[in-house]
């Protein structure tokens, strides 16, 4: 997984304005910044651009926001040449709000539709795209759903990642 930065400060304000502040046009500005992360994830893979698969939002969130912001981000990334948008009929099994870390770790994503079946039969190379990763449960659920369908997940590109605990960061540097 590659992220533009840590979820805090200006990046956090940008994401909140984009997601919940009615400033959906910011996705077109974020897309070119995220494109190099996709390029790095696909290094050494097939020469063709990968499919970009947005993490699905709950229907209630899409209705509240008036748009599926991650799908719009993927469309903007396609326009910038980062890959091909693959907008699958997918839905998370549960919402994240109000759940503890243990419940969020078991999050599953359900895929439906012809596009998912075709991409799976082709073993399509895909990069998962999300806005913010906190526990990683949504990315794990999406990875599981895509690989179970037969797609080849090359990684995930996210706009921001929650802070890494100091102990984990220290062990990664020494390990």
d(CA 3, CA 95): 23
Please give the model's pTM, rounded to 2 decimal places. 0.79
Note the pLDDT of residue 149: 87
Distance CA 131, CA 79 (A): 18
**In order of start, what are the domains of the chain with their CATH numbers?**
50-174 (3.40.50)
Residue 65: what pLDDT?
56
Q: Which two tokens stand for residue 94?
A: 């549960």
Q: Please, are residues 139 and 130 in contact by the beta-carbon 8 Å criterion?
A: yes
For 55, the token pair is 């993490």
Q: What is the mean pLDDT of each run of 10 residues along the chain (175 residues)?
A: 92 90 86 93 80 78 66 93 85 54 58 72 88 89 89 94 61 43
């Amino acid at each position: 997984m590659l992220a533009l930065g840590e979820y805090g400060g200006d990046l956090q304000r940008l994401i909140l304005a984009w997601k919940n502040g009615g400033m959906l046009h910011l996705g077109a500005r974020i897309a070119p910044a995220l494109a190099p992360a996709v390029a790095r994830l696909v290094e050494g893979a097939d020469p063709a651009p990968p499919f970009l698969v947005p993490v699905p939002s709950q229907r209630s969130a899409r209705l509240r926001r008036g748009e599926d912001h991650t799908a719009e981000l993927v469309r903007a990334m396609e326009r910038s040449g980062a890959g091909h948008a693959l907008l699958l009929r997918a839905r998370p099994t549960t919402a994240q709000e109000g759940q503890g870390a243990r419940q969020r770790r078991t999050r599953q994503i359900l895929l439906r539709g012809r596009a998912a079946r075709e991409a799976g039969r082709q073993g399509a190379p895909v990069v998962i795209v999300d806005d913010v990763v906190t526990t990683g449960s949504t990315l794990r659920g999406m990875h599981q759903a895509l690989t179970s369908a037969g797609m080849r997940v090359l990684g995930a590109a996210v706009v921001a990642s929650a802070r890494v605990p100091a102990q984990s960061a220290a062990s990664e540097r020494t390990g």
